[in-house]
A = this chain, B = another copy of it.
Amino acid sequence: MPDSAIRPRKEFGKTIAADITHRLREEIVTCGLAPGEPLRFDVLRERFGASFTTLREALTALAAEGLVDAQEQRGFRVAPVSRQDLVEVTDARVLIEVELIRRAIQKGDDDWEIAVISTLHRLKRIEQRDPEHPLRDPEWKIAHRQFHQALVSACGSATLLAIRAELFDRAERYRHLSANFRPRPRDKAGEHQAIMQAAISRNADLAVPLIETHIRTTADNVAKYAGHLLETE
């Protein structure tokens, strides 16, 4: 019987390193650790309660994902943000996500349809609770991620899904960056509903432009409302 006294941490993985990786990724994506911020071992050690080596392993993994910038012999820092990077991430997401939605629409079975419908349903329920600030609600964030994940999950390529997931995280960081400055959320609920319907009715030619617009509009809003944060670096 595992109990919390014996197993004080490790919520998201069997090893402490995997757990720290998960928690650090979360902090970086939500901008709890600011872009460009140096990641000093003393500080991390105190915050996460792990040793140098374990932290180093987590940071190395996140560096490979593009969320952390490793400067050899000079430590790590949160990957900086920039207009250029936002454009690249957005472009890459469109390229890959569009292809994946096509494949998923072609290959998806009943379970796929159920996953798409049910994840959207949950997302809408959460939005009803707090329609003003969805991004600040961690549950909304998870549900939103799961809906988009479900949409492409039937594409048949674990390789492309992994790449997609990395790009999604990098984009989500920009969304969080602008969340505090955005005056009012746009009608994301309607967009999600339209995407779901196009997908379920197997209308790829409709779903593709909807997805593309969805991604690009989000990025445009980031550039519009958080542009002042993207200048340096």
Q: Which residues of chain A from 22 to 76 have a CB within 8 Å of any chain B CB?
A: 53, 56-57, 60-61, 63-66, 72-73
Q: For the complex, what is the distance from the CA of A65 to the CA of B15, rounded to whole Å? A: 19
Q: Does A18 contact B (CB under 8 A)?
A: yes
Sorting the interface of chain A by its residue count into under 10, 10 to 19, 20 to 34 or 35 or more gives 20 to 34
- Rounded to whole Å, the gap between the CB of A72 and the closest CB of chain B is 4
Most chain B CB inside 10 Å of its own CB: which residue of A61, A159, A160 = A159
Q: Does A212 contact B (CB under 8 A)?
A: no
Q: For the complex, what is the distance from the CA of A158 to the CA of B89, rounded to whole Å? A: 10
Q: Which residues of chain A from 70 to 106 have a CB within 8 Å of any chain B CB?
A: 72-73, 85, 88-89, 91-92, 95-96, 99
Q: Does A154 contact B (CB under 8 A)?
A: no
Chain B residue nearest in CB terms to A21: B60
B64, A159: Cβ atoms closer than 8 Å: no
- Rounded to whole Å, the gap between the CB of A57 and the closest CB of chain B is 5
- Rounded to whole Å, the gap between the CB of A27 and the closest CB of chain B is 18
Q: Please give the residue numbers on chain A whose beta carbons come within 8 Å of chain B beta carbons, in ascending order.
A: 13-15, 17-18, 53, 56-57, 60-61, 63-66, 72-73, 85, 88-89, 91-92, 95-96, 99, 157-160, 162-163, 167
